[in-house]
Amino acid sequence: MRMYNPDRVILLRQVERMTQKALSEQAGISQATLSKIENHQVEFTEPVVMRISTAVDYPLTFFEGQAGPMAITSLTYRHTSSTSVGELNSIAAEYSMLCGVVDNLSATFHIRPKTMWLDKLAVHSDPDGDDIERLAEKTREELGLPPNGNIGNLTRALERVGIIVAPIHGLTAKLRARLNSDGVTMPAREDQLMPVIGYSARDNTGDRLRFTIAHELGHLLLHKYRKPDTYRDMEREAHRYAGALLMPREDARILLGDYFMLSDLMDLKATWGISIASMVSRASNLGLIGADRTRSLQIQINSRGWRKHEPVHVGDEHPILLKQIMQRRYATETSNGTVDSFAMEKELNVPFRYLDQWADGLRESGSEFGFETRRFH
């Protein structure tokens, strides 16, 4: 006899941003019944599960999953006063679903962890700027990267050591602005064979994506065993780490040590894949420019409209590790790169549209004949 988990209804409503009233109307059950199910006051029966499953296009196996809602305080994104609890919960819920899929696949393939170095380097006491610089230097060593020079593909460097990088559907451009964040991770998550970094891919730029991924890696190392008093301090540390990882201090002293103009930073952006604003912050953090010069450059950036749209295009980085694992597990007999979307939904307990999103695009069996399950656009 199948056992269904009522907490998964709450998780579903959070990720889809649905009220009890909206879900009850869509599924054709009373709101009172739904409330009792979520509060474990009545049995969550298969007929009710089927009604909800059909109404929202979720596999029945989703409701057999064990993981429930994730506390928003355990995640790294910060937010403004205009961000609703529902918006925060939706990101936490989607991230929880993603982690569940990664854990499922890790167990299926008996994946051996490659990320023990994260625990080895993780900071236990409050770091100063020099501590963060050294942490970034040690990270490069663990990633097999040279101590100096630009990082050609940061996403691939992390994937090579078993860190999953995946685009999050719910992190829209509008929500990003209110969250003041392009990424999300969970530094203190226990028993994770493959840590997960989620990011917003929509209406984003290559340099911003690279900085976001470096920033979230900073959270994994800086905030696993400690949490600063304020979000501002936590973000400041992760920002400092991201800049240090992408442009080591020795390189920065050579490139930014002399008097420079914004036009000089445009040339550096093309080579280093770092935004002009981030390089100004990097020079300031290292004491290469003073407060007045920093303020002058920031005013120039704002006056030119570069705070929203900087010149110089930096190409996007696309993750491949999660897609490769999914393709290996769910490849069809034709071996033409297509996957069995029905088997994926059944075994991974998540709608295919989310799996397709997190894998950065999948080809499902039958697509060559025009068949496709529902996807995000």
Mean pLDDT by 10 residues, the chain (377 residues): 90 94 96 96 95 96 84 68 74 91 90 87 96 98 97 97 92 60 83 87 88 96 93 94 98 94 96 97 97 97 94 95 94 81 93 94 70 61
Note the pLDDT of residue 78: 52
Per-domain residue ranges for the chain? Answer: 1-68, 107-303, 321-369
Cα–Cα distance, 84 to 90 (Å, whole number)? 10
Phi and psi of 291, rounded to 5°? -65, -40
130 burial via Cβ count (<10 Å: 0-12, 13-18, 19+):
exposed
Q: What is the per-residue pLDDT across 184-202, written as a single tens digit (0 to 9) for each?
A: 999 888 777 899 999 987 7
Of all helices (H) and strands (E), which one includes residue 92? Answer: helix 85-108
Of all helices (H) and strands (E), which one includes residue 114? Answer: none
Nearest-10 Cα torsion for 73, 79, 83, 89: -30
Of all helices (H) and strands (E), which one includes residue 197? Answer: strand 196-199
User: Are the CB atoms for 288 and 256 separated by under 8 Å?
Assistant: yes
Q: What is the per-residue pLDDT across 144-173, written as a single tens digit (0 to 9) for each?
A: 999 999 999 999 999 999 999 999 988 765
Q: What is the per-residue pLDDT across 94-111, written as a single tens digit (0 to 9) for each?
A: 999 999 999 999 988 888
Three-class DSSP labels, 19-59: CHHHHHHHHCCCHHHHHHHHCCCCCCCHHHHHHHHHHHCCC
Measured CA distances, 180 to 280, 299, 300, 314 (Å): 19, 20, 22, 21
Mean pLDDT over the full length of the chain? 90
**Cβ partners under 8 Å of residue 68, min gap 6:** 5, 7, 8, 10, 11, 96
CATH of domain 1-68: 1.10.260.40
Note the pLDDT of residue 113: 76
Phi and psi of 357, rounded to 5°? -65, -50
